[in-house]
Amino acid sequence: MASVIKHITHPYPQEVWQARTDEAIITNQPMVERPWWYRDTETGRLYHDIYACIGWPSQVSDKDTGLPGYIAIVGVIRPKDIGRDTHYNPLNAKFLLMAENESDDVPTLLDMCLDMREKYGFGVQPNLMKVWFGDPERFITTLALKNERLIKYGGDNNAILVTPPDDYYTPNIFDNYVRSIKSCLIPGKIRFFFGNCDILKNRLREFKRDDPAVLGAGGLIHSLLSRTTWMDTIQGSAAFTTEE
């Protein structure tokens, strides 16, 4: 499957980045806009960065088989009307749910991860789609066996890496993650858009506690709001290359 994501770099990335960094230092701003972004060749939409998340299937009980696992791709939107030479502050950039899927079966869910990451830019740029935000300790054996085969035929960089979202090991994470999503859905201040995706939207309406979809997407949104990882920090010795 060919990727629909194209990496676009300003013709003079180092010079632009240095100019923006100098301005940020003068105006006492801790972060700076990157001189590169991504374009979805299917839709024409632009993104500062693209992220992935996974919510593992919930536990089976004597009452039911639980809720299916969930995976999603979220893009940090770069406005189309912003020219390549126009400097603006994307600190409060909006998010779009680009794609999602679900499955009760963990191996099937992992196969979906592979298809989804390939379509949305894995390998286009070294750090793009490299990790999935989620629980790194759930279904660890199944994931390890899958990665063993992926590494054998594709190298270490081919593994599916799962990293915990911010505050994952603190109490009441479901409450924290729901609040983060809800904060982006306040009328008049909407910052998260569902696009053509319905799974997460319907799960939020049903609102079952510890829903894998809400945990997965919520953890990702919570982390994005906390870190602003689509911008570069200028504190300390910041470094930039077009291959980052």
pLDDT digits (tens, 9 = 90+) for 35-66: 899 999 999 999 999 999 999 999 877 677 78
pLDDT at site 25: 84
Decide if pLDDT at 243 tops 70.
no
Pairing, β 95-103 against β 131-133: unpaired
Residue 26 has pLDDT above 90, yes or no: no
Q: What is the pLDDT of residue 235?
A: 62
- CA 190 from centre of chain: 18
Mean pLDDT for all residues in the chain: 91
Whether the predicted pLDDT of 242 surpasses 50: no
Nearest 5°: phi and psi at 220? -65, -50
| Residue 188, pLDDT score | 94
Tokens, residue 28 = 């006492």
Query: In the chain, what is the straight-line distance between the N-terminal and C-terminal CA atoms, in Å?
Result: 24
For the segment 126-146, the average pLDDT, to the nearest whole number, is 95
Record the pTM: 0.91
To the nearest whole percent, how much of the chain has pLDDT over 90?
70
Q: What is the pLDDT of residue 2?
A: 85
